[in-house]
Structure formats: structure tokens, C-alpha cells
Amino acid sequence: MVFARSRVVVFIDGDFWHGFDWPLLKPKLGDYWRDKIQGNIERDERHTEALQQMGWTVIRIWEHQVKQAPTACADLIESEITSKVRI
């Protein structure tokens, strides 16, 4: 999600695809999936850094966090957006 006025971008990262708990998951995977997910992690880091260098606030939330505490995730996003909006 992109909130252009406040320059906030939100990513909801899938636990498997983006490597949640990567040190535990990595040894259990075959070469293809290990390389695929490692590439996703590295791409996520590059994109986060590039956006931050352009002055954006990047919020990354894990899939399981949305499932477990959707209101807390929404509150985090709302708080960040309202702190950046200039009236």
C-alpha cells in the first residue's frame, strides 16, 4: 500500500516467500527454494533501502502478524501516516 501524501509505503510480506524465521527454515529447503527465498530477502532489503533513501517511510509487516493482530497492524500504519501528514 502506498500513502503518497505522507510518503509511507506498507508491505505485507508472506511468511514463506519472504523468509520469516529464515535461519530455521533455510536448512529444510532444497536448493531451488533456498535460492528463491534468499533472492526475495535480498530484493526486499534493496527496495527498502532505496525507498528510504528517497525519503519514504517503509513499514514491513509479516503475514502472520496480520492474521494474529490485524487491529495492531492497522494502528501501526495509521500512527505512522498521521505522524507524517502535514496540514
CA distance 14 to 51: 20
Residues 6+ apart with CB under 8 A from 6: 57, 80, 81, 82, 83, 84, 85
The total domain count for the chain is 1
pLDDT tens for the chain, 87 residues long, are: 999 999 999 999 999 999 999 999 999 999 999 999 999 999 999 999 999 999 999 999 999 999 999 999 999 999 999 998 765
Q: Which domain covers residue 51, as residue numbers?
A: 2-84
CATH number for 69: 3.40.960.10
At 54 the pLDDT is 97
